[in-house]
């Protein structure tokens, strides 16, 4: 008799933290003998790794869940798991809303998936949302890419931005030790990964919770120290990081990025608003003048650096004039990319219960006007690549044109060129840029760089 293998499916919503958590949870499931199924309807275990940053992200989860909950009535041995930020926010309330669920688990419990599932297979319905110390990641993630990889450096967030659910769903800041981070990157280097992105909701906070102070009274482990500590790992050619908070961004960090050849010239530093009064109400802890100084300093050291950010329009009480200050900041700085969102009131956050919430019409009008400007500025920024030689790390085939491969420049611009993915995957190729668009480039390959094997 042949026993067919059991299958799992994961759908991931939300940010890079969730994607990294999903890769680790997939690793755990494979370790338990499950096989990946692209189609959720063929899976025995379905896991939704959820996001609650805005209301529409949360609602999407409920519609997916509704469909699978129905299926469970025909297939009672189906295991339904909700992980991530909606799970943490709703906890037991989620079980009341969807009684078919077997497991509700917050992001801090991702590494405990095997344990939790075993309790489910023993016949229990489980909610795991209590705050815990995140156990060091000893699992082998099942990574989506063979070329680029995420490495968590700090979990959680201790900020209290008045619009944001992240601190309540991700918990307090917990830094991994420099040794554990370096060991993971070394393993990635040995496996042939060429690019790593160091991850944290507020990566500048790295190390504040680790013991040790220098003779000058500085924390011994800052994010800048971490960059120096990991930058020479053999095999890894590029290092990126996200997300930076303007309140803590230092010149020392900027200098390190300029000095360390593998650290890419791309900075993701959300500003949220270009108006000081709004920034104060958001409790962001900086002014637009300080933000501009940071960008000036970056450009002083690295004139060609790419700058991206996040911004929110229609924060409660935001006036037309205050919104125009955001437009002005975008106009002046010229972002390479900007993630924009209309303010969405979130449960348990201070701003959600303030009076003077703006209408959906005003919010969507401002969002459209901002997006229009963002596209114009990004197209202007793209112009500088025309005719230039750019180093592109090849990640994949272009899904829309199989004769092309795609990858990113050091500054994170998506770039396409003719080539065979089997030959070029994971290679650094000098590409002459022949076509520019707002958010991507096309070019001709000139030279493939030889890389030492590790
Ligand atoms: N830690 C990062 C971002 C985390 S959330 C930082 O501090 O910048 C990602 C982005 O979602 C935020 O930068 C913000 O622009 C947006 N966001 C967060 N809460 C939101 C809300 N309630 N409504 C709309 N956008 C929001
Ligand atoms: Fe949210 Fe602010 Fe923390 Fe970013 S820094 S995750 S916006 S609370
Ligand atoms: Fe969403 Fe949670 Fe990330 S709310 S943006 S998945 S931290």
> DSSP class of residue 429?
E
Q: Which ligand is nearest to the CA of 282?
A: 2
142 within domain boundaries: no
pLDDT of residue 1: 44
Residue with the larger pLDDT of the pair 133 and 239: 239
60-98 pLDDT tens trace: 999 999 999 999 999 999 999 999 999 999 999 999 999
Confidence at 401, pLDDT banded by 50, 70, 90: very high
Residue 135 clears pLDDT 90, i.e. is over it: no
Give 435-448 pLDDT, tens digit per residue. Answer: 999 999 999 999 99
* pLDDT recorded at residue 2: 46
The CATH number of whichever domain residue 363 belongs to comes to 3.80.30.20
62's CB contacts (< 8 A; 6+ apart) are 97, 98
Q: Report if residue 139 sits inside a domain.
A: no
CATH classification at residue 397 = 2.40.50.140
Tell me what pLDDT residue 221 has: 85
Spatial CA neighbour of 267 closest among 306, 235, 321: 306
Average pLDDT for the chain: 95
Ligand 1 binding pocket mutation candidate from 107, 161, 164 (most atoms within 8 A of CB): 164
pLDDT at position 136: 77
Q: What is the average per-residue pLDDT within 22-44?
A: 96
Best residue for ligand 2 mutational test, from 202, 247, 282 (most atoms within 8 Å of Cβ): 202
pLDDT of res. 117: 97
Give the bridge partners for 196, in sequence order.
149, 239
- Per the structure, the complete domain to which residue 438 belongs is given by 386-449
409 with 435, same domain: the answer is yes
Whether residues 84 and 53 share a domain: the answer is yes
| Tens of pLDDT, residues 139-178 | 789 999 999 999 999 999 999 999 999 999 999 999 999 9
Segment 7-15 shows an average pLDDT of 97
Q: Does the pLDDT value for residue 40 go beyond 50?
A: yes
Q: What is the pLDDT of residue 4?
A: 65
Cα of 78 from ligand 1 centre, angstroms: 34
Expressed in angstroms and rounded, the spacing between residue 54 Cα and the centre of ligand 3 is: 9
Written as six digits, the tokens of 89 are 């926010």
Q: Which residues pair with 82 in a beta bridge?
A: 48, 104
How far is 65 from 61, CA to CA, in rounded Å? 6
Q: Is the pLDDT of residue 402 over 90?
A: yes
Tell the residue number behind the tokens 């437009």, with chain if given. 327
pLDDT tens digits, one per residue of 261-319:
999 999 999 999 999 999 999 999 999 999 999 999 999 999 999 999 999 999 999 99
Q: Are residues 215 and 83 in the same domain?
A: no
**Residues lining ligand 1, judged by CB closer than 6 Å?**
53-54, 163-164, 166, 201-202, 243, 245, 270, 272, 310, 312, 341, 343-344, 346
Residue 276 lies in a domain: yes
For residue 1, the tally of other CB atoms under 10 A from its CB is 2
Buried b (16+ CB within 10 A) or exposed e, 381-400: bbeebeeeebbbbbbebbee
> CA 13, 18, 19, 23: dihedral to nearest 10 degrees?
-120
Residues 168 and 46 in one domain: no
The phi and psi torsions of 407 (rounded to 5 degrees) equal -165, -165
Residue 26 to residue 99: CA distance in whole angstroms: 24
Identify whether residues 116 and 163 lie together within a single domain: no
- Does residue 121 sit within a domain? yes
Number of domains in the chain: 3
Do the domain assignments include residue 289? yes
- Residue 197 to residue 263: CA distance in whole angstroms: 10
Confidence band for 3, pLDDT divided at 50, 70 and 90: low
Token duo for residue 227: 């960059």
Are 89 and 223 in a shared domain?
A: no
Mean pLDDT, residues 221-248: 96
Asked if 124 and 166 sit in the same domain, the reply is no
pLDDT at 212: 77
Residue 260 is predicted with a pLDDT of: 98
Long-range contacts of 319-326 (CB under 8 A, 24+ apart): 322/273, 322/275, 322/277, 322/278, 323/275, 323/366, 325/273, 325/274, 325/275, 325/278, 325/288, 326/273, 326/274, 326/275, 326/370
Q: Is residue 454 part of a domain?
A: no
**3-state DSSP assignment of residue 141:** coil
Instruction: Answer whether residue 133 is part of any domain.
Output: no
Say whether both 208 and 235 belong to one domain. yes
* Cα 128–Cα 135–Cα 209 angle in degrees, nearest 5: 110
Looking at residue 139, its pLDDT comes to 74
Task: Take residue 57 and report the two structure tokens written for it.
Answer: 């992200």
Q: Is the dihedral of CA 345, 348, 349, 355 positive or negative?
A: positive
Q: What are phi and psi of 362, to 5 degrees?
A: -60, -45
Please determine, for residue 16, whether its predicted confidence score (pLDDT) is greater than 50.
yes
Using DSSP, state whether 379 is helix, strand or coil. Answer: helix
């Amino acid at each position: 008799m042949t026993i067919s293998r059991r299958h799992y499916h994961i759908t991931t919503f939300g940010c890079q933290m969730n994607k990294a958590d999903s890769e680790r949870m997939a690793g755990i499931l494979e370790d338990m003998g499950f096989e990946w199924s692209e189609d959720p309807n063929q899976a025995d275990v379905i896991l939704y790794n959820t996001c609650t940053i805005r209301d529409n992200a949360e609602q999407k989860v409920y519609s997916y869940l509704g469909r699978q909950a129905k299926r469970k009535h025909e297939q009672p041995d189906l295991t339904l798991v909700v992980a991530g930020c909606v799970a943490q926010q709703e906890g037991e309330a989620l079980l009341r809303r969807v009684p078919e669920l077997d497991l509700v688990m917050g992001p801090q419990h991702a590494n405990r998936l095997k344990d939790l599932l075993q309790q489910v297979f023993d016949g229990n319905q489980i909610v795991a949302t209590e705050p815990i110390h995140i156990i060091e990641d000893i699992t082998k993630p099942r990574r989506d890419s063979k070329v680029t990889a995420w490495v968590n450096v700090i979990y959680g967030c201790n900020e209290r931005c008045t619009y944001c659910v992240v601190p309540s769903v991700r918990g307090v800041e917990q830094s991994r030790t420099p040794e554990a981070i370096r060991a993971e990157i070394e393993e990635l280097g040995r496996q042939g990964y060429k690019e790593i992105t160091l991850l944290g909701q507020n990566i500048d906070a790295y190390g504040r919770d680790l013991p040790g102070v220098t003779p000058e009274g500085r924390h011994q482990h800052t994010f800048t120290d971490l960059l120096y500590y990991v930058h020479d790992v053999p095999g890894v050619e590029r290092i990126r990081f996200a997300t930076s908070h303007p309140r803590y961004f230092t010149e020392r960090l900027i200098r390190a990025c300029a000095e360390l050849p593998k650290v890419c010239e791309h900075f993701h530093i959300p500003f949220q608003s270009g108006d000081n009064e709004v920034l104060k109400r958001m409790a962001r802890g900086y002014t637009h003048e300080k933000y501009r100084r940071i960008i000036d300093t970056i450009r002083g050291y690295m004139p060609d650096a790419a700058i991206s950010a996040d911004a929110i329009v229609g924060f409660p009480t935001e006036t037309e004039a205050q919104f125009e200050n955001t437009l002005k900041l975008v106009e002046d700085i010229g972002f390479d990319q900007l993630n924009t969102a209309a303010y969405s009131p979130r449960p348990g956050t201070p701003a959600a219960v303030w009076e003077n919430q703006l209408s959906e019409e005003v919010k969507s009008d401002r969002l459209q006007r901002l997006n229009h400007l963002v596209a114009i500025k990004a197209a202007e920024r793209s112009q500088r690549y025309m005719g230039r030689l750019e180093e592109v790390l090849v990640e994949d085939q272009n899904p829309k044109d199989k004769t092309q491969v795609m990858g990113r420049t050091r500054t994170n611009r998506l770039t396409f060129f003719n080539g065979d993915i089997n030959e070029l995957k994971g290679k650094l190729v000098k590409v002459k840029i022949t076509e520019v668009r707002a958010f991507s480039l096309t070019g001709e390959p000139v030279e493939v760089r030889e890389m030492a094997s590790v």
